[in-house]
Chain A
């Protein structure tokens, strides 16, 4: 009975945040447009040689995904903080970690998932092979939730600070480096003919670790920021 109610709570928070995001579609679209724009700037910066672009593609797509997820992290708690909803959530008898996990999941669906769906189109612009594209998408599917979850810690710590956005990136980006390495490593393994499984398993392991710890740590960070 108790377990079911926890799960129900998770779904409730996700549905609420998704509905709020749908009411303000512009926010979702800006992140996506930023992602597309950053990726499109690279060929303009380094030149149109296809060989080089093909080599760079996984790195460019991953770094762009990292940056655009940073961009949207500021909104994870700030709106609820401003109108006092967050305080009510912390007073609620249910587990704050579960609430936070729901918010992270909704954040990923709004800002991570569109990037994953958009990535193949951009990958084709960089002339990536079908196999490499497939691995890129699997990697992004495993990796972008980790970005949302680690970012959640940073968003909670910088809640309500001046210059929070830049500070947030400064705190979170170094912690996201392993995700970047394994995500791009998997795609590079395809092109060199090595096994992809090791990189993807490590990404999966990071995802499980993040799922277990980040909601709790974020809840603690929120308590520190709100006291």
Chain B
């Protein structure tokens, strides 16, 4: 039997699928958050250098990682929408942007809370903080451009082009800012072994997965509302039980 790989690339079918998936992602995100934060706050030992303060890492690091990946995923969907003219890809890109901006903001906020006891300042102009801030600006630019164009098709395509240009620029910005100044501690998780306690690693991994699941659940919920809004004049929407 041939599988139709593109069955769920139509908003009509994807709407139902997303509705069925959201509770699964949402509930597992909640459980994993509880487990990860419990291990992080109560099981993981105190850091010999940073005391209790380091525990914010369990929020800060997953948020930073996800904010960066989401930009690339958003640009990928935007490119798909631009090249193949698929409606759902553009909707996905639009749905990802606010979540990405939120995670970038959380990352900056927790970074500031962490920086105060560690470096003695809420904000330092180091490479990673600055590039995360620029990433937030890129998200906001994408959202602002999309919001200021009334016609959805033009909005999708213009914002897609901006996202692609932005993603080409991200490495250039990252390296220029890195050469400009570096004060941030080096990454603790390296491909060749790690200097972290096992419980800390577990907690961070679990909260990272929880953040991903949360991000997916929220993005699916948002894409459902975008589908409803954009396709409100079609017949299948008017026949949906929740619309009737």
Contacts and interface: CB of A to CB of B under 8 A. Distances in A.
Interface of A: 153, 157-158, 161-163, 167, 170-171, 173-175, 177-178, 181-182, 185, 202, 206, 217, 220-221, 224-225, 227
Contact of A224 (B158, B166, B176): B158
4 closest A-B pairs by CB: A178-B176, A174-B137, A224-B157, A171-B141
A162 B145 CA distance: 11
A176 to B, nearest CB: 10
20 contacts: A153-B165, A157-B161, A158-B148, A161-B149, A170-B140, A170-B141, A171-B144, A171-B145, A174-B134, A174-B173, A175-B166, A175-B169, A177-B134, A178-B169, A178-B172, A178-B176, A182-B176, A185-B179, A225-B154, A225-B158
A173 B180 CA distance: 18
Contacts of B137: 170, 173-174
A76 to B, nearest CB: 16
Q: Is the interface of A mostly helix, strand, loop or mixed?
A: helix
B60 to A, nearest CB: 22
A158 B176 contact: no
A153 B169 CA distance: 13
Contacts of A206: 172
Contacts of A182: 176
B138 interface: yes
A157 B166 contact: no
Contacts of B169: 175, 178
Nearest to B147: A167
Interface of B: 134, 137-138, 140-141, 144-145, 148-149, 154, 157-158, 161-162, 165-166, 169, 172-173, 176-177, 179-180
Contacts of A181: 176-177, 179-180
Nearest to A184: B180
B184 to A, nearest CB: 17
Nearest to A158: B145
A217 B160 CA distance: 12
A163 B158 contact: no
B176 A177 contact: yes
B173 A177 contact: yes
Contact of B148 (A167, A175, A185, A221): A167
B171 to A, nearest CB: 10
A221 B141 contact: no
Given A177-B173, A178-B173, A217-B161, A161 B134 contact: no
Contacts of A185: 179-180
Given A174-B141, A181-B180, A224-B154, 6 more contacts: A153-B161, A170-B140, A178-B169, A178-B173, A181-B179, A206-B172
Nearest to A220: B161
Nearest to B157: A224
A157 B162 contact: yes
B151 to A, nearest CB: 10
